[in-house]
Amino acid sequence: MRHVQVVTSGIDYIDRVVGGGIVKGSSLLVIYDSFSSGWVLPFKMLNQKMAEGDVLGIIINYNFPLPKLILRAKSAGLDIEEEGRAGNLVVIDVFGSKYGFHHPEDYIYRIESFNPETYIPKLEHIYREIFKKTTKSEVVDLIFSLDGMALEIGEERSIKLIKQLISNRIINGRHLFSIYLTGKDRSSDEFLSWNIEFNDYVLEFTSKREDHRISEQMCVLKSPLVISEPRIYRYEAHTQDILLLVSPRG
C-alpha cells in the first residue's frame, strides 16, 4: 500500500476518533437528523482549515438562497462575507443558479443555464476560474448538501453525478479533502447507502428529545484509519465535547 498523507480535520476530537486525521484527497460524509446540530461541524472544520492561511474553502450550495446560507454559516461560526472578501472562501451557488438569483460579489460563482447533463463540465470550468484567481495552494470543499442536490435533480441522477465528482480530479494536487452533508430524514435508505459507500469517512449524528433538552450522539461509522466496529459518542454541540459511550468488544 502506498504511503498516505494524513492532515488534521481542523477539529482535535474528530482527528482522535477517526484514527489521527483525514487522509489527503479523501472525503468525509456527515449524516444528521432533523433535530441534530451535526450540520454545524463541517462549517467549523472549514473555518478552522481556512484559518491555517494557505487553504481555500469552497462551498457548493444546493440548499438556500445566499442570504440564508450566510446566516446559517454564521450561526456555526463561519462568516462567509468576511472570508469571501479576504479571498479565503468562494461559493458556487447552484441554488441561486437554478432559481435565477444574481449576486455581485466576486467570490460568488453561478452555473449559467443550470442543466444536470452539463453540470460537471461547467463545474470544472468554474474550478479552473477559481484557481486562476487564488494564490492558495490547497483546497477544502464543502457540499451543502447531498439531499439538497437530490431534491433538485432526483436521487438517481444525483448518485450518478456524485460518482462523477468523486472520480473526476477537478482539483488535482490542491485537494486536501471534501466534506459532504446529508439530512437523514430527507433521504431514502438507498441514497444514504450509496453515499456511505462512496465516502472514506462517515460520521452520523442522531438526536433524542428529552425533558428540557435534546441529547445527541455521534457514531463513527467509517474511517480508513480505524479498523474496528463503529464507535458511539455522546456529542455536546455547545461545548464541542464528546464522550465514548460504547467501547468495541475485544
**Burial annotation 140-167 (CB, 10 A radius, 16+ → b, else e):** bbbbbbbbbbbbbbebeebbebbeebee
Cα 34 versus chain centre, distance: 17
What is the pLDDT at residue 172? 60
- Considering the domain boundaries, does residue 201 fall inside one? yes
What letter does residue 225 receive in the DSSP assignment?
T
Q: Is the pTM of this model over 0.85?
A: yes
Residue 171 grid coordinates: 482539483
Residue 145 in any domain: the answer is yes
Position 161 in a domain: yes
DSSP strand pairing (108-109 vs 138-144): unpaired
Q: Is residue 76 part of a domain?
A: yes
* DSSP class per residue in 47-64: HHHHTTSSEEEEEEE-SS
Choose among 201, 60, 77, 49: nearest CA to 138. 49
Number of domains in the chain: 1
Helix (H, G, I), strand (E, B) or coil at 20: coil
Residue whose grid cell is 463540465? 121
The cell for 89 is: 472562501
Q: Is residue 1 part of a domain?
A: no
Q: CA angle, 171 as apex, 166 and 173 as ends, to 5°?
A: 110
Count of CB atoms situated within 10 Å of the CB of 119: 19
Pairing relationship of beta strands 201-210 and 6-7 according to DSSP bridges: unpaired
Give me the pLDDT at residue 249, please. Answer: 46
Q: Would you state the pLDDT for residue 194?
A: 96
Question: Phi/psi at 55 (nearest 5 deg)?
Answer: -115, 125
- In this predicted structure, what is the pLDDT of residue 50? 97
Report if residue 169 sits inside a domain.
yes
CATH of the domain at 101: 3.40.50.300
pLDDT of residue 135: 92
Residue 12's domain comprises 6-246
Whether the CA torsion 124, 130, 136, 139 is positive or negative: it is: negative
| pLDDT per residue as tens, the chain (250 positions) | 457 899 999 999 999 999 999 999 999 999 999 999 999 999 999 999 999 999 999 999 999 999 999 999 999 999 999 999 999 999 999 999 989 898 999 999 999 887 878 888 888 899 989 999 999 999 999 999 999 999 988 899 899 888 877 776 566 668 889 999 999 999 999 999 999 999 999 999 999 887 778 889 999 999 999 877 788 998 876 666 788 875 544 4
Q: Is 39 inside any structural domain?
A: yes
pLDDT of residue 202: 97
Question: Which letter, b or e, does each residue of 45-65 get, where b requires 16 or more Cβ atoms within 10 Å of its Cβ?
Answer: bbbbbbeeeebbbbbbbbbbe
In a domain, 181, yes or no: yes
Picking from 74, 75, 92, 93, the residue whose alpha carbon sits closest to that of residue 83 is 74
